[in-house]
Amino acid sequence: MEIKTETVEIENSAANVFTRLADFNNFKELMPPQVTNWQSTADDCSFTINNMATIGMKIKEKMPHSKIAIESNGKVPFNFTLDVNITSIADNKCNGQLHFNADINPMLKMMVEKPLTNFFNLLAQKMKQIK
């Protein structure tokens, strides 16, 4: 299953957005109210999405100012990757997009595709608020 969010324009430099998002301790501010039990270090985090599952993630790779590659970590319902793509368009303006990939069986995909799409689109929208 693949989910690509819409590309959002962020009124901040690619360097600043990258620096904020390259530390999971800053990710909490992007999370919607449905996310509880947030725990994080700079390179990994875990949280619960109400009525769904507990998710663990860790940063796999950081490509300064352009991409943060994240992968599932620990006990998760399925393995996944999540790329945070950042593209500079001016000194104080950049675009952001999330790209999620998971190997999910067709039955589970039917249940989780819409909520996950909504979740990632909400995170992308919240990226606009990064100061």
Identify which has the larger pLDDT, 120 or 34: 120
> What's the pLDDT score for residue 33?
87
Burial 50-70 (b: 16+ CB within 10 A, else e): eeeeebebebeebeebebbeb
Position 109 scores a pLDDT of 92
Residue showing tokens 């303006």: 93
- Please tell me which residue, 77 or 24, carries the higher pLDDT value: 24
pTM given for the model:
0.93
Query: Would you kindly state where each structural domain of the chain is located, as residue ranges?
Result: 2-127
Q: Check whether 51 has a pLDDT greater than 80.
A: no
Does the 2-127 domain belong in CATH 3.40.50.300? no
